[in-house]
Chain A
Amino acid sequence: EDKVVQSPLSLVVHEGDTVTLNCSYEVTNFRSLLWYKQEKKAPTFLFMLTSSGIEKKSGRLSSILDKKELFSILNITATQTGDSAVYLCAVGRSGGSNYKLTFGKGTLLTVNP
């Protein structure tokens, strides 16, 4: 069974801090790892990573994948209160008609002013 483990489960920081969220996975025929931000309802797509060692960046957020060690990190620099959310990590497999994403439990990030 595919496994996605995120840590920490929750984190409280002050505005301006930098945070690192972790995601480790065990999946047969790994294809891609995705990060989502979930505020009130829908998970909002942030990044999809398929290649090891290549950083994806969007503003203050960045992410990198290590396929050898089977993990990814999501960094957020200069955090703002609007970054408060649950951050979800998900993995997809390759092969056949496997399209599903397997999600971790998420990291609840609270950014205090």
Chain B
Amino acid sequence: EPEVTQTPSHQVTQMGQEVILRCVPISNHLYFYWYRQILGQKVEFLVSFYNNEISEKSEIFDDQFSVERPDGSNFTLKIRSTKLEDSAMYFCASSGRWDSRYEQYFGPGTRLTVT
């Protein structure tokens, strides 16, 4: 069964460093998302991406964050200068057609630890 994959599974970085989290969405999907979950808290929306541009972003998704789909398969989240409060599990998700865009399938997540 097709699934969303993410790498790495765990990333440890120092405050102020740049990180890139990578995702390979389900191959025929058109809509891509990043969510995060701080330990013990809710899953929170960060950004959605369609047709090579951001379609919606949350207040969390400030200038330190960017997303890219550099080729036909990868979808990346970059954090330019990490802060301690960026420590969280980051989930990539994807969905197919317009009428099923809410039926989002999640990857296994990347645990980001900022020290």
Contact = CB atoms under 8 A, between A and B. Distances in A.
Nearest to B95: A99
Interface in B73-112: 89, 91, 95, 100-109
Given A42-B107, A45-B104, A48-B102, A101 B56 contact: no
A35 to B, nearest CB: 11
Contact of A45 (B33, B48, B50, B105): B105
Contacts of A64: none
B56 to A, nearest CB: 5
Contact of A104 (B4, B42, B58, B107): B42
Interface string A70-110: 00000000000000000010101000011111111110000
A42 B101 CA distance: 18
Contacts, number: 62
Interface residues of A, number: 23
B43 interface: yes
Contacts of A43: 43, 91, 106
A90 B106 CA distance: 13
A101 B106 contact: no
Contacts of A99: 31, 33, 48, 50, 55-56, 95, 101-102
Interface in A44-58: 44-45, 48
A71 B102 CA distance: 18
A97 B56 contact: yes
B91 A42 contact: yes
Contacts of B108: 41-42
B44 interface: yes
B105 to A, nearest CB: 6
